Amino acid sequence: MACLPAASLALRRWLGLGLFVLLCLSSGYALEKKVVKSKVGEKVGLPCCHEIPSWESLHNYRVYWQKNTTEVVLAYAEGKKISEHDRYKNRTEMDPRNLTLWISHMEILDNGPYQCVVQRRISQNSVVVCDEAVALIVTADFSEPNITTEVSATSCDSTEMVVTCSSHGGFPKPRISGTFNNMSVVWNAIWVSESSFSPYNVTGKQSFNVTKDTNITCSVEYGGLAKTTSLILKKTNYCIEPTVPPSYNVITASSIIIIIFLLAITLAARYLPRHVCSHCCKPQDSVEEGVKEYMKPPMSSKVTSETSSV
Ligand SMILES: *[C@@H]1O[C@H](CO)[C@@H](O)[C@H](O)[C@H]1NC(C)=O
Ligand SMILES: *[C@@H]1O[C@H](CO)[C@@H](O)[C@H](O)[C@H]1NC(C)=O
Ligand SMILES: *[C@@H]1O[C@H](CO)[C@@H](O)[C@H](O)[C@H]1NC(C)=O
Ligand SMILES: *[C@@H]1O[C@H](CO)[C@@H](O)[C@H](O)[C@H]1NC(C)=O
Ligand SMILES: *[C@@H]1O[C@H](CO)[C@@H](O)[C@H](O)[C@H]1NC(C)=O
Ligand SMILES: *[C@@H]1O[C@H](CO)[C@@H](O)[C@H](O)[C@H]1NC(C)=O
Ligand SMILES: *[C@@H]1O[C@H](CO)[C@@H](O)[C@H](O)[C@H]1NC(C)=O
Ligand SMILES: *[C@@H]1O[C@H](CO)[C@@H](O)[C@H](O)[C@H]1NC(C)=O
């Protein structure tokens, strides 16, 4: 029955058995491949296998949308809804032409294999037109991984840290991975979930010897998606003797500079005028120099007055 697509009874007589088997195989291959992805809360359409031509109507058909071959999600006969699953109440619609099943407010529980079966009424009998499976994969986003660290031991060369990476509220069950200084990390992971169809919380722990500032990343992968966080682990080194805090250093350094400066000024105040005088007194002979000499004393006196006032 599952191998009837595009092959009405009349057509079947025309087709050789070999071709029919081939048709079955190819449609079987297609069954495996049809996948629809969605996220919790979204609306998504599951495609069916038949489009009702414009000269016909849904009245001539029976359409069954079922999940996992056991529960009927939605069924139509003679153009009317004949069945709707409680869990899908008010959440489903079916396109009257291409028979796409629209499901809104997606839930984790909606995950699974779906099947669309279309029958056409020919006089008193129903003939299967097509039958197709589609897998619905519903994911829920995990939170950005949260990395926390705790120093467990320190030595002069390294800091031993326990790193915890956690993420919550996602689906399906995730894989947790990461890198530490470009090497892959294997986390000791714990998964928590109320059931296999509930959101998961995941926590990974690992300890590391940090010998220099190192980049660590943590990735949570689920249903082909991933969330990644990275952090720089700082090496905390307690080996250096407790030194004078920098504020004291600054004060000491600045006081030394001030003292030297004051000393220099005092010395300058004491010796500079004489130096200037002895220097300018040397070329006494020429008249020109004498003019210069006349010009200079006020300048030097100005210098001394400036320096002493500082
Ligand atoms: C079915 O029809 C609806 C609207 O008429 C369209 O959005 C949807 O893509 C169609 N689906 C397929 C599988 O053709
Ligand atoms: C569906 O919608 C109707 C009216 O809009 C409402 O009365 C009913 O409670 C809803 N059912 C569910 C299961 O939400
Ligand atoms: C499909 O139904 C079978 C039997 O009822 C059950 O064992 C299986 O877990 C179901 N699979 C899914 C994906 O719901
Ligand atoms: C990360 O986890 C720590 C400890 O559990 C918590 O205090 C902090 O608020 C969390 N940060 C975020 C962004 O969730
Ligand atoms: C990490 O590895 C990649 C290739 O695997 C390389 O390009 C990159 O430079 C490496 N980074 C560090 C910090 O070693
Ligand atoms: C998962 O984590 C969230 C937030 O931290 C919390 O509210 C929830 O109870 C946890 N779920 C389980 C199953 O532990
Ligand atoms: C870190 O190094 C110390 C000594 O160097 C060793 O005893 C300890 O096992 C190391 N820890 C890890 C997590 O490699
Ligand atoms: C850590 O490395 C990753 C790639 O390996 C990079 O994307 C990320 O920006 C780095 N983080 C920091 C804080 O440098």
146-189 confidence digits (pLDDT tens): 999 999 888 888 889 999 999 999 999 999 999 999 899 999 99
Do 41 and 131 have their domain in common?
yes
Q: Is residue 261 part of a domain?
A: no
27-42 in b/e form (b: 16+ CB < 10 A) is: beeebeebebebebee
The boundaries of the domain holding residue 51 are 33-139
Is the model's pLDDT at 294 over the cut of 60? no
**CATH code, domain with 120:** 2.60.40.10
Which is it for strands 214-222 and 175-180: parallel, antiparallel or unpaired?
Answer: antiparallel
Q: Is the peptide bond before 172 cis (omega within 30 degrees of 0)?
A: yes
Q: How many CB atoms lie within 10 A of CB 14?
A: 9
Averaged pLDDT of the chain: 80
Which is it for strands 125-139 and 35-39: parallel, antiparallel or unpaired?
Answer: parallel
- Whole-number Å distance, alpha carbon 60 to ligand 1 midpoint, is 20
- In this predicted model, what pLDDT tens digit does every residue of 205-262 receive, in sequence order? 999 999 999 999 999 999 999 999 999 998 876 666 555 555 667 667 777 777 777 8
- In this predicted model, what pLDDT tens digit does every residue of 257-286 receive, in sequence order? 777 778 877 877 777 655 544 554 444 444
Q: Is residue 20 part of a domain?
A: no
Ligand 7 shell residues, CB under 6 Å: 158, 160, 207-209
Question: pLDDT grade, residue 20 (50/70/90)?
Answer: very low
Of 181, 210, 233, the position where a domain reaches its end is 233
Do 153 and 169 have their domain in common?
yes
CA–CA gap between residue 37 and residue 170 (Å, rounded): 15
Q: For the chain, what is the domain count?
A: 2
Predicted confidence at residue 141, as pLDDT, reads: 96
Runs of H (alpha helix) within 201-286: 246-281
Looking at per-residue confidence, does 122 or 12 come out higher?
Answer: 122
Q: Using a 6 Å cutoff on CB, does residue 86 contact ligand 2?
A: no
Of 233, 255, 285, the position where a domain reaches its end is 233
Do 134 and 156 have their domain in common?
no
Tell me the CA distances in angstroms from 147 to 134, 205, 294, one per residue in order.
Answer: 38, 10, 79
Q: Is residue 289 part of a domain?
A: no
Predicted confidence at residue 241, as pLDDT, reads: 55
Best of 84, 86, 87, 89 for a ligand 2 pocket test (most atoms within 8 Å of beta carbon):
89
Question: Any idea which ligand is nearest the CA of 182?
Answer: 5
Of 89, 104, 139, the position where a domain reaches its end is 139
Predicted confidence at residue 301, as pLDDT, reads: 44
Q: Is residue 51 part of a domain?
A: yes
Predicted confidence at residue 16, as pLDDT, reads: 38
Do 150 and 206 have their domain in common?
yes
Predicted confidence at residue 1, as pLDDT, reads: 40
Tokens in use for 88? 């899908």
